[in-house]
Structure 1
Amino acid sequence: MEVESSSTVQALASSLGVKLDAIPSEFVRSEDERPGTTTFRGPVPEIPVVDLAGRDRDRIAKAVSEAAEGWGIFQIVNHGVPAEAIAALQRVGRGFFEMPREEKEKYAVEPGSGSVEGYGSRLQKEPEGKRAWVDYLFHNVWPESRIDYKFWPESPPDYRKVNQEYARYLVSVMDEMLSSLSLGLGLEGHVIKEALGGEGVELLLKINYYPPCPRPDLALGVVAHTDMSAVTLLVPNEVPGLQVFKDGHWIDAKYIPNAIIVHIGDQIEILSNGKYKSVLHRTTVNKEKVRMSWPVFCSPPDDRAVGPLPQLVSEASPAKFKTKSYKDYKYCKLNKLPQ
């Protein structure tokens, strides 16, 4: 059955009503992408979990480094972000997406601006006009000089306060992760953060909203990709959906309440000269429940040049990546140009 699509996925999901066996063809993934047939069903190892309790620097750096090298993704617990702050972040995010569509449209992405900030649905053009089953809201949360509050919802009324508080906590988590990754390379703890721009490192929040989908076996919330960022710090709601490509299989990530999921992004893989792996991941959707996630992309400023750290390059270990500005890197990746 063919169904006509709407401009946002949330509106489409509402309009489908009892058409429980149909989604528009533009959401139906190719055979080799469909989660119904490509999700691994056998026993698989679980994504590593790193406990930050006690702040044992050597232990944490070793665990983070091993997870970044072997998996490119891990979950952290006892990270110092209060459960109340995470719950508040999720509450105000849900509140935004529960508003009438015309209210959300006030924060729409500005066409032709070159910025992703704002509310939208079609993030980038896919081959054959395909679409992902997700709506989103993007806005910068750190540093203050990069924030444009016109993209921050005015409702719920405490949206700004909650996000400002969460960002302050998350900067400390980011610093600890970057320091651990640096120590894991045999370098001083400050090296990676300085290479990314020091206090100029930017944090961009994205709220992903995945409405119930009549055919979750055919659709994807977000297609397979690696993050362009240095690291991504993500909290999901309780509905599973994150999948990681490991040892030739798509495997489900276990949900751990109040854990933060850490993705190694492209910039860390480049800086480490390939030792740390930028994780290939995707998201699935649910037939009955709304799935949401709150990734924060920690990235260098656009004009920052990023390449393999000189300390890691030698005749025996030549540079595996070119040095280029983050802006140029993003342009090449988004337009599928040679890196």
Structure 2
Amino acid sequence: MFSIKELVESNCLKSVPSNYFCLKNPEDSILYYEADNIPTIDFSQLTSSNLNERSKGIQQLGNACRDWGFFKLINHGVSETLMDKMLRASQRFFDLSEEEKREYAGGKVLDPIRYGTSFNLMVDKALFWRDYLKCHVHPHFNVPSKPHGFSETVDEYITKSREVVGELLKGISLSLGLEENYIHKRLNVELGSQFLILNFYPPCPKPELVMGLPAHTDHGLLTLLMENELGGLQIQHKGRWIPVHALPNSFLINTGDHLEILTNGKYKSVLHRAVVNTKATRISVATAHGAPLDTSVGPAPELVGDENPAAYRAIKYRDYIHFQQSNELDRRSCLDHIRI
């Protein structure tokens, strides 16, 4: 199977192969420009020594998780230099020859390093306009040895992103009325899973016919995303698709399925998708953070009661990833399969 990059470069595409056509509902093309309403969280408030400032930041964080499942994060402490360096390293990986990249073509969902195209070639009814690299980078660090310097940049970046997510999870615990380290302790976050996902979306002559990635939710607790200057992320809010425009030097954060499970539905994971354009390549760098793979994630007992019974059955993180990654993305959350 050609990678989408190889297909585009070898054919100088003026049309789209039919196996990339994605059937869409008419309403999918309607965008509601409410981007200004997307919450922005100031990370410096969450770590402030000023109790009033921190309390305000925690309340805003909880509201964003409850009402949107998504927010922009500013003043996060990760240098713009490192963010740019990570984006450039990602580009250099995808610029490797196809022969070099295929050295990392894993065959199993949880292979430590997996390079591929689309989402799951075994089940996709239509192929997606996307190549990817997925690496399981914590608690064990697995990344390609090429290109030169790639692993060092990734190591620095994922360490910083893990620190940011750790502080966000403390704020989320407090926003739920729980002890600051509740999520860390309950799910052993310090030894938890961190995945790095690099996405490569080249320009497409007919972007209205294809999808970079269709509507889906993410596994895990939180996903931290950055992208190059070309946006393409859209989130669903109250049944409407909203395009996301990142602020300079910001991260885009969405809540994952396991945060919804843990909070017994109080905080929702959000449907989102990636679209492509005719102009240039979009690259995004995502880090997904969750529990250790063999940890069973269920609703927190403190958030379950007679008036709020458990809404989800507990499931081992490893099993959840296997289910999600082994099936077609079909506009629904995998949570539908474990609701009580």
Determine if the TM-score, normalized by the shorter chain, exceeds 0.5.
yes
Q: Residues 124 and 184 (structure 1 numbering): CA distance in 2 closer, same or farther, change over 3 Å?
A: same
CA distance in 1, matches of 2:124, 2:161: 38
Describe how 1:1-339 pairs up with structure 2 within 5 A.
7-17=2-12, 19-20=13-14, 22-32=15-25, 38-42=29-33, 45-54=36-45, 55-56=47-48, 57-109=54-106, 111-112=107-108, 114-115=110-111, 117-125=113-121, 129-143=125-139, 146-148=140-142, 151-155=143-147, 157-334=148-325, 338-339=337-338
**1:3: which partner in 2?**
none
CA distance in 1, matches of 2:162, 2:242: 29
Q: What's the RMSD between the two structures over aligned residues?
A: 2.0
Give 5+ residue unaligned stretches, structure 2: 49-53, 328-333
- C-alpha contact 2:120 2:326 (8 A) present in aligned 1: no
The structural deviation recorded for 1:322 is 0.5
- C-alpha contact 1:195 1:306 (8 A) present in aligned 2: no
The structural deviation recorded for 1:136 is 0.6
SS in structure 1 opposite 2:209? coil
**2:51: which partner in 1?**
none
The structural deviation recorded for 1:163 is 1.1
Runs of 4+ in 1 over 6 A off after TM superposition: none
CA distance in 2, matches of 1:296, 1:230: 11
- C-alpha contact 1:183 1:189 (8 A) present in aligned 2: yes
Question: How many residue pairs get matched?
Answer: 324
The structural deviation recorded for 1:332 is 3.6
Q: Residues 331 and 112 (structure 1 numbering): CA distance in 2 closer, same or farther, change over 3 Å?
A: closer
- C-alpha deviations, 1:247-281, integer Å up to 9, x for none? 22111001212101111000000000101010100
CA distance in 2, matches of 1:221, 1:82: 28
CA distance in 2, matches of 1:182, 1:61: 9
| Identity in percent | 32
SS in structure 1 opposite 2:208? coil
The structural deviation recorded for 1:31 is 2.9
The structural deviation recorded for 1:25 is 1.4
* Letter of the structure 2 residue corresponding to residue 30 of structure 1: L
- C-alpha contact 1:269 1:277 (8 A) present in aligned 2: yes
The structural deviation recorded for 1:141 is 2.3
Give 5+ residue unaligned stretches, structure 1: 1-5
CA distance in 2, matches of 1:216, 1:43: 22
The structural deviation recorded for 1:46 is 3.2
**TM-score, normalised relative to structure 2:** 0.89
**TM-score, normalised relative to structure 1:** 0.90
- C-alpha contact 2:295 2:316 (8 A) present in aligned 1: yes
